[in-house]
Amino acid sequence: MKKSIVMEKISKGFMIASIVVVFIMVASIIYTIFKRGFGCITWEMVSSVPKGGFYIGGEGGFLNATVGSVYIVLASTVIGLIISIPIVFYLNVFKSQKSRLAYWVRLAFDILYGIPSIVYGAFAFSLMIYMGVRTSLLGGIIVITLLIIPILMRSMDEVAKNFPHDLLEASFSLGATRLETIGIVLRQIAPGIATATLLSVGRAIGDAAGVMFTAGFSDSIPTSLSQPAATLPLSIFFQLSAPQAEVQNRAYAAALVLTIIVLVISLLGRFITNRFSKHKLN
């Protein structure tokens, strides 16, 4: 057999092996969560807030954490998109690929991308102490927004960078202004925006370190931005830290809810992506 064909077969084998490894990892995580989670989840856990002694085996549930997580993720994703989409448009429609400003902005976001969430949390915490602000839902939203803006911005930017230049010319040649042309860019990169949003939602909903200092934790559902809010990752953490096996098992019920939320958002994102992709120029 020719050497090149052998090399091709070996490479293909590596690729398939990598896919299998990833698939086994995902499947085993989901299997563990679903098996242990379904074993102990009850309607009371999903639909009620913790009652006295919940974390040592008492009655109640983790609705406070579910609602807190959903509040933080929704608010931070919306704010994150509102801030990062104009940056992406400015860099890709108003600035050329070789622009120095664009280079420095991208570099800054690359650095922010690599900063661990605990650092964001600690930074925000010291700011809050300085300003005399207590842990609150607003604090959590701000930190998670800061955390996901680099993810949103860089993911969308990579898609926008490959935006066909001919489309800009087509729009301008009809007499469109740059602002009107943004509508075309938006339609073309919509699948990229959906993917970036999914990535950031995944990161935001699973983050525990950033919200630990800023959103705090509370057994009740926050009714205002100034009240502390519980989140699912922290709820899982507290339950897993308990010495009782029964409470540890409950953590898997919370993990199950978290996984289902992420799964639903991912499927919704895929659906939206497919809807927008049908008009996309390749």
Partner 1 sequence: MWFKNLFLRKFLASDCNEAFVPDAKFKHPDKAAEIKVEDFNLWFGDAHILKNINVAIPPNKITCIIGPSGCGKTTLLKSFNRLVDLSENVKMTGSIRLGDEDIVNCSASELVELRRKIGLVPQRPTPLPMSIMANVAYGCKIHGLRRIRENRRIVRHYLKVVGLWNEVKDRLRSPAVKLSIGQQQRLCLARSLAVEPEFILADEATSALDPVSSRTVEDLFVKLKEQYSIIMVTHTLRQAMRIADYVIFIYLGEIIEVGDAKEVFHNPKHELTKKYLEGAFS
Task: Name the site residues for partner 1 (rule: CB under 8 A).
Answer: 96, 98, 164-177, 180, 184, 187-188, 278-282
Between the CA of residue 19 and those of 6, 14, 142, 198, 202, what are the distances in Å?
20, 9, 36, 21, 21
Q: Closest separation between CB of residue 99 and partner 1, Å?
A: 9
- CB-based contacts of 2, cutoff 8 Å, min separation 6: none
Count of positions (residues) in the chain: 282
Nearer to partner 1, 52 or 183 (CB): 183
Q: Measured from the CB atom, is 46 or 186 closer to partner 1?
A: 186
Rounded to 5°, the CA angle 81-105-161 comes to 70
CB of 162 to partner 1, least distance (A): 14
Through-space distance between the first and last CA atoms of the chain, rounded to whole angstroms: 38
Residue 218: CB atoms within 10 Å: 19
> Of 114 and 175, which has the nearer Cβ to partner 1?
175
Q: With respect to partner 1, which residue has the nearer C-beta, 176 or 225?
A: 176
Report in angstroms how near the CB of residue 173 gets to partner 1 at its nearest: 4
DSSP code for 231: -
Least separation in angstroms between CB 91 and partner 1: 15
